[in-house]
Each structure stands twice: as C-alpha cells, then as structure tokens.
Amino acid sequence: PQGIGSPSVYHAVIVIFLEFFAWGLLTAPTLVVLHETFPKHTFLMNGLIQGVKGLLSFLSAPLIGALSDVWGRKSFLLLTVFFTCAPIPLMKISPWWYFAVISVSGVFAVTFSVVFAYVADITQEHERSMAYGLVSATFAASLVTSPAIGAYLGRVYGDSLVVVLATAIALLDICFILVAVPESLPEKMRPASWGAPISWEQADPFASLKKVGQDSVVLLICITVFLSYLPEAGQYSSFFLYLRQIMGFSSESVAAFIAVLGILSIIAQTIVLSLLMRSIGNKNTILLGLGFQILQLAWYGFGSEPWMMWAAGAVAAMSSITFPAVSALVSRTADADQQGVVQGMITGIRGLCNGLGPALYGFIFYIFHVELSELPMPESPAGGSVTQYHLQQNSIIPGPPFLFGACSVLLALLVALFIPEHTNLNVRSSNWKKHCGSHGHPHSPQAPGEAKEPLLQDTNV
C-alpha cells in the first residue's frame, strides 16, 4: 500500500498542522490586502466572501464525505488540502483572484470532515474521543504560533516572503499526503471501480435539518445552537479585521491576541469545563457559557479602547465551553442508536451558521456605516495605531454587529432554560437507521456525529 507505515492518527495530525500553519502565517497580510482591495465597504465584502465560502462548505461536505466512504480518504485529503490552499500564492499575484478563489474554494474546504473520517477508520470507538482531542489540540497549536511568526516576518522582510513561505508549507503538506499518508479505508470496503453508486440521501446537506422538528427537546437544543453560533461564526470572520482597522491594533498585537485567546480557550475547554460539569451540572454549564458569551459580545460592541478588547477576550475564552457542554448533553441523553442523528442535526445547524453569520455581520457593519476611509497610520511604539478609526465614525456604538450578537445569544439563553437536564431524545429516524445499516460500515465515520469540527474551531480563535 502507498504511504509510510500503517495509517495512524499522527498522519492526520501532520496534515492538519501544516494546512492551518500555512493559513495562520497569512493572518496579518490578509487584513492589509483585504482593505487595499476593497477600500470601500470592506466589512461587507469580507462578510460576503466568507459567507459564500461557508455556504458552499455546508452544501458540499456531505457529498465529499459520501464519496470518501466509497473511494477512500487519501484522494479526498489531497483534494481538500489542495483547493483550500490554492488561493495562497494568488495573494501577491492578483488580490481580486485571491478573494474570488477563496469564495469558490468553500466547495472543497472541508478538510476536517475527511480527517475525522480518516481517524475514525483507524481507531476503536473508545479511543476516538482522545484521537479527536489530539487533532483539535494540533489545530490550536498551529494557530497559536503561526500568526505571530507571520506578523514578525512581514514586518522584518515584507509580506511577499510570508506568502512564499505559506505556499511552500502548503506544497509540503500536499507532498506529505502523496508520499507518506497511507489509505485508511480497507480495500474490501472500496469498490473495484470508480463507478460505484452513491447514496444521494447521505449526500443531502439538509437531511439532518429535516429531522429537527420531530422532538421538542431536539428542537430546543438546535434553536439554542443556532442563536448562539450565528454571532460566533460572524464574529470569527470579521473580528481580527475589526481589531486591526477600527480599534487600531498592530499586526503584532493581533497575533498576540490570537495566541492568548487560544491558550485561554484550551484551558477553559479542558480544566474549567471538567470542573464545571462535575460541580454545577451539564445544563447549568451551558447557561453559564451563554452568559459569558453575552457579556463578551456586549463588551466588544461598546468597547472603545484596546484594553477593553483584551479584557473581553478573556471572557470570550470562557464562553467557549458552551458547545462542548451542548455536545455532552446530547451524547448523554440520546439513545445509543440516535447519537449520529442528533449530533448530525447540530453539525448541520452550525454549518448553516458558518455561511449566514459572516454575511450578516458584514451587512450590519454596512448599514451602520462602519467603514474604513484610509489605510492604517504609522504605528506608535506602544503597538497601537496613532489614529483610532472608530473615533472618526461619530458612533456611540463602535461595533453594532456584536450587540446584535449579544441579543441573539440572550434569546438562546432564554430557550436553553427550557431544556430538561435529564431526558431521552427520541428522534424518529427509522429511514435513517435503515439507510445507515445498508450503506455504512462499523468504522464508517459518516454518521454525522463522527464528523464534528474540532472544539477550538467553535471559539473566537
């Protein structure tokens, strides 16, 4: 078989680290290129670009997962990494093409789904959560270090070197998949030819969403996830641009902000989450996380000084406990044969938010006339910009979308109050189970619960 050694979690970890390390290097250069390319309506265009990418990913993820179940994981790892990293060299060649390709690349920007499928092929069920945790920690480590490295290299040697370095790391990742990564899907589970039939029911992105209304508890959980993750997805797409251009953060300050939030989020999602789950229970942990998220978004919305952003960032790390707590509540209360169905609904809701959230935030920035009128001023020794752009906006509220997000999460908190602490989720899914029985296999991760995104991707980092 092709590849070095037998399939292992470490192969998947290296693929994820190299891909997100390459993109992390471009954090600071992307913010500058975005404003230079769209000097007017910067936030609106950023929201549209990320929104189109998110919606395309939501629509294509089930199909790519279904195809990888038939044709194997390695070819789709290669495909997703190649198309996800394809825009990188275009940043300096043609910024317009760079942003256009980023939007279209959403069709294949589902590396995590294929990586989790790869991991599920080669691990037993009791080992899987630890393996997923290792992948998530690798994702966090790449984003904690790379923005700071990219900002430093850009300041000393120029952004062109950063783009070349990121392109080289992306090519290294592609070569690693070609040469070193072995196929994880057993040969007997793959067809003899590429003409094998695909179950289009399995590839339907709306299949999980159609089951939402079949149980009142499931409906409450899904509404909570939608109302709380919609502002989080929008915030992730625009917040670093907001820090850089409106709050006057330097490139180094943005990189440091990402690193600090990443470290605090790791602590919150491991040590703090574990303590809270044992001491106050699952439902109360969800409510506490939503409370932290409301405080954080309101602070971002009204904050007018850099120190306020740092303080709100610490609260943001605490709010990252919400989604792991929701997943734990679902896994604990659902029947064993319902896990994939219910987790798949939540994953589908979050995928929808990844498309709607950025576009919504960009539109709110636009209608409140929060725009950029000039390029960043020279930076002061303290690391901040000489001019605070938000003071030019003559606005009482510097960040209107964040206040909208706080209202959305407040509604999520009110809905979550009605979720019972202990219940059995009963989703009528006989067709789903029949389908899984005929098309799945014991280690097939395409039950939607197996294709969850890493926890840190649900935070603001």
pLDDT category at 435 given cuts 50, 70, 90 is very low
Q: Is there a domain that residue 192 lies in?
A: no
Tell me which residue range forms the domain holding 105: 1-186
Q: Each residue of 51-77: pLDDT tens digit?
A: 888 888 888 877 787 777 777 788 888
pLDDT, residue 169, reads 95
Q: Are residues 26 and 172 in the same domain?
A: yes
Q: What is the average pLDDT score of the chain?
A: 75
pLDDT, residue 335, reads 59
- Which CATH number do you get for residue 112? 1.20.1250.20
| Mean of pLDDT values over 354-368 | 84
From 176-180, 335-339, 454-458, the region with the lowest mean pLDDT: 454-458
Distance (Å, whole) CA 231 – CA 361: 8
Q: Are residues 136 and 226 in the same domain?
A: no
Q: Are residues 94 and 175 in the same domain?
A: yes
CB atoms within 10 A of CB 396: 8
Q: Is there a domain that residue 341 lies in?
A: yes
What tokens does 324 get?
């792991």
CA-angle at 188, arms to 136 and 438, nearest 5° = 80
Q: Is there a domain that residue 140 lies in?
A: yes
pLDDT, residue 264, reads 86
Q: Are residues 87 and 173 in the same domain?
A: yes
The structure's pTM equals 0.70
Q: Each residue of 255-276: pLDDT tens digit?
A: 888 888 888 887 887 788 878 8
Q: Are residues 79 and 112 in the same domain?
A: yes
Q: What total of structural domains would you count in the chain?
A: 2
Q: Are residues 164 and 217 in the same domain?
A: no
Q: Is there a domain that residue 214 lies in?
A: yes
Q: Is there a domain that residue 426 lies in?
A: no
CB atoms within 10 A of CB 198: 14
Q: Is there a domain that residue 319 lies in?
A: yes
Q: Are residues 249 and 158 in the same domain?
A: no
Which of 153, 186, 219 corresponds to the end of one domain? 186
Distance (Å, whole) CA 137 – CA 326: 20
pLDDT category at 461 given cuts 50, 70, 90 is very low
Q: When comparing pLDDT for 167 and 445, which is higher?
A: 167
Burial of 266 (0-12, 13-18, 19+ CB in 10 A): buried
Q: Each residue of 101-148: pLDDT tens digit?
A: 988 888 887 787 788 778 877 877 666 656 766 777 677 778 777 888
Q: Each residue of 31-42: pLDDT tens digit?
A: 888 888 888 778
pLDDT, residue 412, reads 93
Which of 154, 186, 218 corresponds to the end of one domain? 186
Q: Are residues 74 and 219 in the same domain?
A: no
Q: Are residues 89 and 225 in the same domain?
A: no
Q: Is there a domain that residue 451 lies in?
A: no
Q: Are residues 171 and 214 in the same domain?
A: no
Spatial contact of 361 and 43, defined as CB atoms under 8 Å apart: yes
pLDDT category at 200 given cuts 50, 70, 90 is low
Q: Is there a domain that residue 450 lies in?
A: no
